[in-house]
Chains A and B, each alone.
Chain A
Amino acid sequence: MANRYSGFGLFRHALRYHENWQRAWRNPTPKTHYDVIIIGGGGHGLATAYYLASQHGITNIAVLEKGYLGGGNTGRNTTIVRSNYLWDESGQLYEHAMKLWEGLSEELNYNVMFSQRGVLNLGHTLQDMRNIERRVQSNRLNGIDSHVVTPDEIKKIVPIINIDNLRYPIMGSSWQPRAGVARHDAVAWGYARAADALGVDLLQETAVTGMRIEGGTIRGVETNRGFIGADRVGCVVAGNSGVLAGMAGLRLPLESHPLQAFVSEPLKPVLDTVVMSNHVHGYVNQSDKGDLVIGAGIDGYNGYGQRGSMPVIEHTAAAICEMFPMFRRVRMNRQWGGIVDTCPDACPIISKTPVDGLYFNCGWGTGGFKATPGSGHVFASTIANDSPHPLAAPFALDRFYSGALIDEHGAAGVAH
């Protein structure tokens, strides 16, 4: 990398009043043809481009992003990273991502601020606890660090939590110590910079408006900047996947819903882990800046409006205040929504399509940030070899016809 980041470099730049930092990536003009076009410059698209270049030697690639890099769900998410999913297929996919997370800052020479501060998934009913125990055992069989913890142990991990709520007492929790959070923008920017250094063209403000398909084979895409040819096209556009599929004459089993989050004013350190509750629909962590990052559930109805409805905010705020009575007087600073692509079995679709050379990676719904490195890694392999990576194979589109669904509603559900 022309411009390696290091502690020493930071010191040198400080001596020059930080006036000489180079651009992190180029702003190229589109070529007429690429070997691979990736549609969508979120974390998953950028990671796909990076691994295509770094693992498969394909560098004549463009990433087409209709807005700015990371401005979709990647830059809107609550950044929880964990791998404690129930089924073998999903547990192994998310654990693959977890292992990549653990070396990511070094690999990208970019601090993605991956912080393994642990994640609690609370149980409030006997059935919650049965499900948690089952999931934890399944995690352990897959080599994923996972424990069942008691209310007393939860109190030790999070002293400010209220475990005695009458309606929703906290009866226990799963606990994954290696889980945590990462800085969402940094993940997009780190992959973008590393991909650019390997020759990938990052084309922002370039919206795909159509697909050119001849004789069942993809030839390229129409954009607001004209036609761009490609041998292969990978589509990674989250909530807009159905729209892009429509351009190729395909249908996907996805529905798009707003999912929202909000952050508070900054506070002194008070919560050094991540607490999630599926049952009461709330999850919270404290960012390094000190603000509480709070995530809600999806709006029940389909929508592409990047905002989200008020009743959902009210519901989530109530859940957080019951779990953490001391947060009642905290003021919220900002609220926003992203459009998530929910899938009938709460698992992603990483797949070839009936169109030769066209691939989709979507359906991550409410919980794909944690998978970013793994998703990009297996999708790059799927595109480069025109054949699914072994970890991606169970997530192909044909499962909706064969019936081999991977039901992760328990582990994914509203929680992320």
Chain B
Amino acid sequence: MLNIYCPHCGEHRSEEEFHYAGEAHIPRPENPAELSDEAWGDYLFFRRNPRGLHHEQWYHATGCRRFFNVARDTVTYEIHESYPMGARPSVSRDSEEAA
């Protein structure tokens, strides 16, 4: 069972209070109508799905009902950090590789 820290509530709560909301940091294209089919398909359907460090969005569904980001390892399930939408992660693939 994951124990997730909600940066809005300032508390750790059990995974049942949250909904997973997919990969983080995917900007919506500025002008969808101008994209090629490939670029639009990539945006809609293709995700990183890494074995290891993953940056993802979570929704505190039965709590504050707000979204935030989490950096989590998809093999060990260790959560490195939670951080608000719009912020950059302090644990990134590059910093992980450097460490």
Least Cβ–Cβ distance between B57 and chain A, in angstroms: 10
Contact yes or no, B19 A253, CB < 8 A? no
Q: Does A243 contact B (CB under 8 A)?
A: yes
Contact pick for A402, options B37, B42, B50, CB 8 Å: B37
Q: Does B90 contact A (CB under 8 A)?
A: no
Q: Does A401 contact B (CB under 8 A)?
A: yes
CA distance A263 to B25 in the complex (A): 40
What residues on A are CB-neighbors of B14 within 8 Å? 311
What residues on B are CB-neighbors of A311 within 8 Å? 1, 14-16
Contact yes or no, B49 A255, CB < 8 A? yes
Q: Does B38 contact A (CB under 8 A)?
A: yes
What residues on B are CB-neighbors of A302 within 8 Å? 20, 49, 54, 56, 74
Contact yes or no, A401 B37, CB < 8 A? yes
Given A302-B54, A304-B74, are A254 and B49 also a contact pair (CB < 8 Å)? yes
Least Cβ–Cβ distance between A139 and chain B, in angstroms: 28
Given A311-B1, A401-B41, are A252 and B56 also a contact pair (CB < 8 Å)? no
Q: How many residues of B contact A (CB 8 A)?
A: 27
Given A243-B51, A300-B19, A402-B37, are A305 and B75 also a contact pair (CB < 8 Å)? yes
Contact yes or no, A253 B74, CB < 8 A? no
Instruction: Report the contact-size class of chain A (Cβ under 8 Å from the partner).
Output: 20 to 34
Contact yes or no, B1 A310, CB < 8 A? yes
Q: Does B65 contact A (CB under 8 A)?
A: no
Contact yes or no, B46 A251, CB < 8 A? yes
Q: Does A176 contact B (CB under 8 A)?
A: no
Contact pick for B56, options A256, A301, A402, A403, CB 8 Å: A301
What residues on B are CB-neighbors of A254 within 8 Å? 47, 49
What would 11 more interface pairs be, CB under 8 Å, given A242-B48, A252-B49, A300-B20? A240-B51, A242-B49, A251-B46, A300-B19, A303-B77, A304-B75, A305-B76, A311-B1, A400-B41, A401-B38, A402-B37
Residues of A within 8 A of B (CB): 240, 242-243, 251-256, 300-305, 309-311, 344, 400-403
Residues of B within 8 A of A (CB): 1-2, 14-16, 19-20, 37-38, 40-42, 44-51, 54, 56, 72, 74-77
Q: List 23 A-B contacts (CB under 8 A).
A: A240-B51, A242-B50, A242-B51, A251-B46, A253-B45, A253-B47, A254-B47, A255-B47, A256-B51, A301-B72, A302-B20, A302-B54, A303-B74, A304-B51, A305-B74, A305-B75, A309-B15, A311-B15, A344-B44, A401-B38, A401-B40, A401-B41, A402-B37
